Structure 1
Amino acid sequence: MASNEEVAALLQEYADLLSITGGDAFKARAYERAARAVGGHSADVSGLDAKALKAIPGVGASIAGKIGEYLRTGRVAAVDEARERIPAGVRELTAIPALGPKRALVLYEELGVSSVDELAAAIGEHRLRGLKGFGPKSEEKLLHGIDLLRAATGRIPVDTALALAEDVVARLAEVPGCERCTYAGSLRRRRGTAGDLDVLAAAADSGPLTAAFTGLPVVGEVIGTGGTKTSIRTADGVQVDLRVVPPDAWGAALQYFTGSKEHNIRLREIAVRKKLKLSEYGLFHARSGRRIRVATEEDVYARLGLPWIPPPLREDRGEIEAAARGELPEPLAESDLRGDLHTHTDLTDGIDSLEAMVDAARRRGYSYYAITDHAPELRMQRMTKERMLAQRERVAELDARSRRRSGGLRLLHGTELNIAPDGSVDWPGEFLETFDVCVASVHSHFTQPRDEMTRRFLAAVENPHVHVIGHPTTRKAGRRPAVDADWDEIFAACARTGTALEVNAHPNRLDLPDELILRARGHGVKFAVDSDAHSVPDLANMRYGAGIAQRGWLTAEDVVNTWPLARLRSFLRAKAA
């Protein structure tokens, strides 16, 4: 039977095909919205009838009909017809950041380019320069986009990787004789994507674990087996490596296979200076070769004269020196987050209703929760002042009802503004000052020159009604590169004006990225870790935002939505003052 993800992928493909052919933009948007709704729906769509399908937010009669057709036949005639009109190579081209559907079609029709490799060759031969709208700058941007796409190929988004790794670990932990089991590698360090997955187990006998691992339901192919290492490839093409080590080598093995390579090199250098030898096999006296029992990672670091260093910090970016000085920060934990300051409802491009989102936030145990639907500059959202005020009344009603409960969730009414190319935002100041919180984000004109983009951000940062800059670099993993701007100048302005920078927790964004978080923190900037949720399941994305925040060395004090509501409100009011 078709899974929700499979049906969602089909709907998204149809939306992309509509965009390529220049079809109705609102229709394409409707299919995108339906794809998100189906992908995040709690029930298995393969078991739903037409009425139940239409009850899914964003799924009307026409879309429900296509889903039903696919569930019955495995095909959708409208999708097949659209595929016939658009070669597969053109659809492949649209995955390149900086290349939209219409320009991809031009390349195919005018130059016969129907693959990423063919496009790279055409750029090398300067064949694009004769096309209207393409020139040397276009070539440079497209080559950068191709590099980004190729770099992303084969890497798994953190949410997909984590779900797979947690499932494998849970199953292996139940195997008799397994004393410990966890995932390691870049996933444990909370990088935004993962390549091959590393799973580590401790047991006296590797046999039962190896047998259980190669027999997992996800296994598509067994690549190789051995006494300590076994590798499989899942049906989706993801390689997972299992290493089984003796229990008394667990600490050294977990430290080694967590990485990073650069961090491990530094630790081995420290070990040598202490006349020790550190490897994945354990910690040894260099002269005698005698193994030192290191049952935990804490034991490893302690023998090297260091406190335990949290995995997200292990990138050789000063963490070893800070640990030696006793100045290692206590990284933000997801449990530190008291609320969410950037979320959407079905009033604009969200999937679920205001009531459903608020109820889900309450179940997460938040102290406060902000609703920040889009402002009118994004015309496809069809927002008006009247609709926003009507929502505010409903938010006030829900807040009053919640306030009557002991320790009830408090609601903030906000908006996500669009930062126009000149740095202006939707709505005049006298209306903006009536919102509890205003997030401002760039949603278009991503290719402005560096100086123009910098001025654009600075104008928004200087706006007294803008509290948070949302998903600042605008990047989308494998789809859109970061905009070019003088980030240090922007960070300095944020620190001076009291404007927070968002760490957007959506796994396709994770924006700000950790490298820029580190730089911004050095300027004294405050941050907001937000889900940018467009549906109830999206609220759980906060775990990924917390992971990137940890990699950027953020503490709870650095993040405004870890603060009590009274302190947060004072921070928000201070911007206007």
Structure 2
Amino acid sequence: MARANDEAAALIQELADLLSITGGDAFKIRAYEKAARAIAGYPEDVSGLNLTGLKKIPAVGEAIAKKLVDYNETGTIRQVEELRAQVPSSVRALTAIPTLGPKKALLLYQRLGVATVDELEAALDEGRLHGLKGFGPKSEENIRHGIELLRQTGDRVLIGTAAALADEIVAALAPLAERITHAGSLRRMRETIGDVDVLAASADPRPLMEAFTALPFVTEVIAGGDKKTSVRTYRGPQVDLRVVPPESWGAALQYFTGSQAHNIRTREIAVKAKLKLSEYGLFTASGELIVSETEEEVYERLGMPWIPPALREDGGEIEAALADALPDLVTVEHIKGDLHTHTDLTDGRATLEEMVRTAAERGLAYYAVTDHAPDLAMHQMTDAKMLAQRERIRALQKEYPDLAILHGSELNIGPDGSVDWDADFLSGFDMCVASVHSHFNQDQAEMTRRFITACENPHVHVIGHPTARLIGRRAPVDADWDEVFRAAARTGTAMEVNCFPDRLDLPADLIRRALRFGVKFSIDTDAHSVADQRNIRFGVGTAQRGWLTPDDVINTWPLPRLREFLAAKKG
């Protein structure tokens, strides 16, 4: 993606945020937010487009296109600059706290003079929010939790941001290296990434290091050398490039991929065998090299099969490997379908035809279109619109005989567990996903009943993004997950592993808990655009961290087996 797209999208999103603070029109704010996502994902460089070209970007109309022209000509957007002058930067910083909305942030600044996260925390501790209109005990509890979430994330970035950066660096440097890939927490598919680690093999590291520091998105060289160079980028994360001799590739990749705890365990095994393990190889006590060229050789010499990177967290993988009991993990290649996607009929940014064509190009065997149902009123869904879409799907099916197009909907799970539409209307869908989109602060007992009721609905096949979290922005809902998973297993309701980088929901720890109850899963992109369908790798990575096999995941199954699963739920 071109840098201009990132900057323009950030300005449009900032415009939406500033309007939220100053009391702008809610419809206009949503339009800006939607346009920002579309600009960030648009394949063409917006800096080279005129007004006509900019209006071809999904969700970008005349008014927003003119703002982008303003950006192309001046490097900023005048309306953003005007609003920045009205809203103190401290208030904008406070809006980064999950659960604290922009209007409340402004109120805290105006009434209490609170201008930083630390000052807000101090105000909470001193009881200065007591009696302030709109800030009851529950609000205070939510703000404290939001501050905790913000600090947990810190300077880390979402995996999608880190992966895009790493992919671009690897592609740029590949011609100069014998081998190159990303390592570290990104290769382990962690939800958030601190530093991006790139590992290369070359007998002559200097050309690699020079090319690395000259990349256009590098803003500062922190440290340089022939073995390791560290830089900062305008996209946020620090990137460390390590170059090792080609003959040390396997040992280095093993060393720089595993978590600290995993690496301690592998080194302990080596020590017990009177060996020494480092990034340069596995050596005898006298310093004689035994193996180093491949990861497989290193693990094999330690008495284990190769351990998939996503498992290298010291979460039982060492014991499983020593017992030859590692799971045969699900991979992207196992995925045969996508069971949760959207089009521009609701909040998607691509047409039905564009989304289906992309699914066919992915080589999928089946693809479900699941636009939102009417209880989310902002999407203005009606029975007539949904039935008309069904007819379009039937016509489109003739163009794609090798791709079964399923018609579904993403239902809204209400506070009492009910969903949109009655049983008769729901029976016309091939399948339905049901998700929580509101009332996130229900207590544990209420939320647990809510999920169980949804699972017991015979027309609900998948619970979408079950914890409803947004990483770094919204905390997971509070439920007795063991009870929810028991209900899901009993009713034959799959739990989704949502592929959006800011969701990755269910998270890996809950996947492993659900697995013990016999729950099945669906790894879905929840795609709202053509580009979103590429997020499948992040959901698969999360599923791997949860130790899932293809048999655990319903959209790895052949279509006949999937249809049996869906039919069994309806009885």
Give the alignment's TM-score, normalised by structure 1. Answer: 0.95
- TM superposition shift of 1:242: 1.9
> Per the alignment, in what secondary structure is the counterpart of residue 130 of structure 2?
helix
Aligned pairs for 1:220-369 (under 5 A) are 220-286=219-285, 288-369=286-367
CA distance in 1, matches of 2:292, 2:347: 52
Q: Which residue of 2 aligns with 1:94?
A: 95
Question: Which secondary structure does the structure 2 equivalent of 1:161 belong to?
Answer: helix
Cα distance, 1:420 vs structure 2: 0.9
- Asked if the contact 2:157/2:236 (under 8 Å) is kept, the reply is no
Question: Does 1:552 pair with 2:546?
Answer: yes
Q: Which residue of 2 aligns with 1:66?
A: 67
Sort the Cα spacing of 1:142 and 1:492 in 2 relative to 1 into closer, same or farther, 3 A.
same
Q: Could you report, residue by residue, the CA deviation over 1:450-488 in whole angstroms, capped at 9, with x for unpaired residues?
A: 111111111111111100000111111211111111111
CA distance in 2, matches of 1:137, 1:349: 31
Count of aligned pairs: 570
1:492 aligned to 2:486? yes
Q: Name the amino acid aligned to 1:28.
A: I
Structure 1 partner of 2:158: 157
User: Aligned in 2, Cα 1:51/1:243: closer, same or farther, shift over 3 Å?
Assistant: closer
Are positions 1:398 and 2:396 aligned together? yes
Q: Which residue of 2 aligns with 1:522?
A: 516
Q: 4-13 vs 380-389, which deviates more? A: 4-13
Give me the whole-angstrom Cα distance separating, in 1, the residues matched to 2:6 and 2:236.
16
| Structure 2 gaps, min length 5 | none
Q: 1:63, 1:235 → 2: CA distance?
A: 24
Per the alignment, residue 118 of structure 2 pairs with 117
Distance 1:83 1:318, change over 3 A: same
- AA at the equivalent of 1:387: K
SS in 2 for 1:402: coil
In the TM superposition, what is the alpha-carbon distance from 1:542 to its structure 2 partner? 0.6
Structure 1 runs of 4+ with >6 Å offset: none
Select which of 500, 507, 510 maps to 1:506.
Answer: 500
Q: What is the rounded CA distance, in whole Å, between the counterparts of 2:43 and 2:330 in structure 1?
A: 30
- 1:151–1:248 Cα change, 3 Å: same
Whole-Å Cα distance in 2 between the matches of residues 192 and 315 of structure 1? 13
Look up the equivalent residue of 1:334 and give its one-letter code: V
For the residues of structure 1 that align with 2:63 and 2:486, how far apart are their CA atoms?
51
Q: Deviations over 1:373-413 (max 9, x none)?
A: 1001111111111111111111111113323xxxx211111
Taking only the aligned residue pairs, the percentage that are identical comes to 64
What does residue 575 of structure 1 align with?
569
Distance 2:223 2:96 in 1: 33
Alignment partners' CA distance in 2, 1:392 and 1:21: 41
Counterpart of 1:131, as a letter, is L
Structure-2 separation of matches of 1:267 and 1:425: 50
Task: Report deviation, 1:245.
Answer: 2.2
Alignment of 1:372-521 (within 5 A): 372-403=370-401, 408-521=402-515
TM-superposed deviation, 1:15: 1.5
The equivalent residue for 2:106 is 105
Deviating more after overlay: 24-33 vs 309-318: 24-33
CA distance in 1, matches of 2:515, 2:73: 54
Distance 1:203 1:402 in 2: 46
The change in CA–CA distance for 1:210 and 1:6 in structure 2 (over 3 A counts) is closer
Separation (CA, whole Å) in 2 of partners of 1:553 and 1:23: 46
Between stretches 432-441 and 105-114, larger displacement belongs to 105-114
**Equivalent pair of 1:201/1:244 in contact (CA under 8 Å):** yes
Alpha-carbon RMSD across the aligned residues, in angstroms, is 1.7
Determine helix, strand or coil for the equivalent of 2:58: coil
Distance 1:295 1:475, change over 3 A: same
SS in 1 for 2:327: coil
Asked if 1:166 corresponds to 2:167, the answer is yes
- For 2:200 and 2:76, the matched residues in 1 are separated by 43
SS state of the match for residue 332, structure 1?
coil
In 2, the alpha carbon distance for the partners of 1:474 and 1:147 equals 18
Report how far residue 2 of structure 1 moved: 6.8
Q: Distance in 2 between matches of 1:19 and 1:95?
A: 13
Name the amino acid aligned to 1:232. Answer: V
Deviations 1:243-293 (A, max 9, x none): 22233332222111111111111111111221112122321212x232223
* 8 Å CA contact 2:11, 2:76 repeated in 1: no
Q: Tell me if structure 1 keeps the 8 A contact 2:462–2:493.
A: yes
Q: Aligned partner of 1:291: which letter? A: L
1:207 partner amino acid? R
Deviates more, 1:36-45 or 1:261-270: 36-45
Q: CA deviation at 1:58?
A: 1.5
Q: CA 1:47/1:243 → structure 2, altered by over 3 Å: closer, same or farther?
A: closer
Q: CA deviation at 1:335?
A: 1.4
- Asked if the contact 1:2/1:71 (under 8 Å) is kept, the reply is no
